[in-house]
Structure 1
Amino acid sequence: ASFTTLSECKIRIIMAEPLEKPLTKSLQRGEDPQFDQLISTMSSLAEYSLSSILRTLFDWYKRQNGLEEELHEYRPRANTKSKNDEQQRDYLLERRDLAIDFIFSLVLIEVLKQMPLYPVLDGLVNEVINLAFKHFKYKEGYHGPNTGNMHTVADLYAEVIGVLAQSKFPAVKKKFATELKELRQKEQSPYVVQSTISLIMGVKF
């Protein structure tokens, strides 16, 4: 419950910040001792009930991604065109999604360290792997204000995979091989090259 409350409070603050402010300024480890302590506590609890903590985390993640915020904090300037307002709103929603992923991956990195001590169902392991690999996909033609945040979140999910691979290497290797095979079957192009680099960067830890 305190994780939900604290996370939603942090997301609300982030939504009120300028789009240009990197998420790392608000969310990185060491920025908020209370939040760091909470993550540490969840990691300790995971020693005894990793599966249930993972399920709870995924429930929170899915719930957050299903919410449509009213964005009360967002006030478009009176002299901007409506199309520009729409784009700003899209960037703001994108920022919110990335903040959710940022928080989620930070917690995963810590709780998954308990994986060698506590067996977890393959279904949950695959759910983590599939979600992480989605963030390793190259986004062609994107030049929005969230580019830096996207790279940061992809790096955090790469860290998640690094922790997971210590105890579930065969599952990570299988997913990587499948993704790489799909890319190799495509006709060579700058997009395929960039996609391959993004995929490899996802398993750099």
Structure 2
Amino acid sequence: MYTPPAFRDDDRASLLATMRATRLATLVTATADGPLATPLPLLLDESEGEHGVIYGHVARANPHWRAPPLGEGLAIFMGADAYVTPSWYATKAETGKVVPTWNYVAVHAHGPVEFFHDADRLLDAVTRLTLLHERPRAQPWAVGDAPPEFVAAQLRGIVGVRMPITRLEGKRKLSQNRNEADRAGVAAGLAASERPSDRAVAALIPA
């Protein structure tokens, strides 16, 4: 990921927070037939390995798991993002030398990808992933709420994914390269937007 120094995020806590907050990531692997990419909800196990381990699953009908990965895989976690109009910059009124851009937060996790079929491992991964997303609900659904034979049949229709993280890259492109007045204009403009994602970016713009 191209990351100018002003936008680089090397803070582990920040990187992991972005990964935890991203509800849908993208798993990418290089194969002999070209790159393959699958959008997936992924679980980050921070207690396992040096940098954590990512778990998920794909449909057995998805050809992604059948193609042996060449080298490491890549999991892309996109955080909040927003279009930035030049009209928000104080510099526009001063010189007119401004252009549109996009602000965003992203984390790229690299590591070897393993696809697995073991039923017990699959059940553990599915149970933990379900708990992650059901926990905030008033009446959480649990895998154990479904009949065991039904769950077993569903597990036969998926293939697990495990990726130990070897390297993390973080980027927070949040107008850090603009002056204070321009940043204030961007923050105010995004905060006034009807888009929740715009308002989320507004809160991240440095003062």
TM-score bracket, shorter-length normalisation: under 0.3
Q: Which has the higher helix share?
A: 1
Structure possessing the higher radius of gyration over alpha carbons: 2
Q: Which has the higher strand share?
A: 2
TM-score by length of structure 2 reads: 0.23
